[in-house]
Amino acid sequence: MASPQDVINMVKENEAKFVDFRFTDTRGKEQHVTVPVSAFGEDKFENGHAFDGSSIAGWKGIQASDMQLMPDPSTAYVDPFFDETTVVITCDVVDPADGRGYDRDPRSIAKRAEAYLKSSGIGDTAYFGPEPEFFIFDSVSWSVDMSGCTLKIFSQEAAWTSGEKSESEGGTGHRPGIKGGYFPVPPVDSLHDIRSAMVLTLESVGVPVEVHHHEVATAGQCEIGTLFSTLVKRADWTQVLKYVVHNVAHQYGKTATFMPKPIVGDNGSGMHVHQSIWKDGKNLFAGNGYAGLSEMALFYIGGIVKHAKALNAITNPGTNSYKRLVPHYEAPVKLAYSAKNRSASIRVPHVASDKARRIETRFPDPIANPYLCFSALLMAGLDGIQNRIHPGDPADKNLYDLPPEEDAKIPTVCASLEEALESLDKDREFLTRGGVFSDDWISAFIELKMDEVNKVRMTTHPVEFELYYSC
């Protein structure tokens, strides 16, 4: 575990000029404030760095805005993008009124979730392994005003550009078709070198990488697989991954997005989340049950299935999320579990050893705040264990081709963000145990997200012109 002195040594050894304090807001976006090294010392780890929390969406009101950033020395790395050498440190947000983690700070919530797991006696460590997918486009433009709406994605790799001749590309013809991106070699995969640059950058800042590849969709859908870790650390790494992906793409003159459904008619981007609980160095999800799972693992699945609609508000927190959660695009809308069936919302990966035994929740998407997403999944799973909620029989059939009478018996995830927020409002008690999430946070989150629902609801859509203009 790194100490404050280790960070001070890092600053000196790299002749850093600045230290960048970072934290994550409710929506999942990193924020930062920077100090010159002349204003940085060990006192920052003891007293923190003061900032105004009133401008962060969903946080303190202006009447009570003073907050403290408390840097975590174990997260320090040298930023690979700034012109001036800068050491980055991830921070917890502390309320100076009581010295505790602010109840709306996502990282503090994640720390409380880890503490609750230990206090429950069920386990001492929860491991998470997310797989966030993303798109890399050449450029994108949009406009929303009183005169109307426009959106245009520009991608030389897109199937829809096959009939266009570009001065720079000359119409090479090597493009992945719709659902054809998984995963031919270059030049069909035009983004290999960019992903490799992302991988090398991630490794340089301490995020271990296991694999990178093109994903299914045309127009530049990609994935970089990184190592699993404990809840807070893995959420930290996910934020670093997003930062690196966005900025390496920017350096190449391209643009990256983790939107779940940026293009119409092809696969969206998910964030499958692998999970397991351990105690005293033993994987508690390994057993002699279905697909090598323990009874505890099945109860954990049962908790996720029971609370899935409430979870959707946190794991799929955008109106765009529900344009991905529709059948037939490898979207896991059916609340069932299976070792074979990727149309199920919870999969049991085939593994060679009990140490790797885990479950994979497939409905989350990559605009989810990782601290909140992982914490909420853990709390749902723990409720399943504590109340012995069995998920029923596995679903090893193709869930998209069931007879109507069978299909009707299998519950689904939410169909809209509004439905998810209503579900969260009604089913929130499992999140508030141990003070992990507060009722105040949940209410503030619902209010913040309903603003997004209403903004989309009140904006005239181009498709509505197609449907109704001539009526």
The single-letter DSSP state of residue 293 is B
CA 175 to centroid of chain Cα atoms: 28
* Ramachandran angles phi, psi of 459, nearest 5°: -100, 120
Q: Which among 79, 105, 114, 223 is annotated as catalytic?
A: 223
133 is catalytic: yes
Q: Which one from 25, 138, 189, 360 is the annotated catalytic residue?
A: 360
Q: Are 278 and 123 in contact (CB under 8 A)?
A: yes
Q: Would residue 388 show up in a list of annotated catalytic residues for this protein?
A: no
Give the three-class secondary structure for 389.
Answer: coil
Catalytic residue among 27, 307, 357, 362, which? 362
Known catalytic residue at 203? no
Tell me how far apart the alpha carbons of residues 323 and 102 are, in angstroms, rounded to a whole number. 33
Q: How far apart are CA 108 and CA 93, in angstroms?
A: 7
Catalytic site residue from 133, 157, 266, 418: 133
Q: Is 405 a catalytic residue?
A: no
Active-site option among 6, 42, 52, 354: 52
464 counts as catalytic: no
Is residue 46 exposed (0-12), middle (13-18) or buried (19+ Cβ within 10 Å)? Answer: exposed
195 is catalytic: no
358 is catalytic: no
Residue of 272, 347, 357, 358 marked catalytic: 272
Q: What is the CA radius of gyration of the chain?
A: 23
Find the catalytic residue in 72, 215, 236, 266: 215
Please state, in angstroms and rounded to a whole number, the distance separating the CA atoms of residues 309 and 430. Answer: 13
Contact (Cβ atoms closer than 8 angstroms) between residue 389 and residue 330: no
Just list the catalytic residues.
Answer: 52, 131, 133, 215, 223, 272, 342, 360, 362
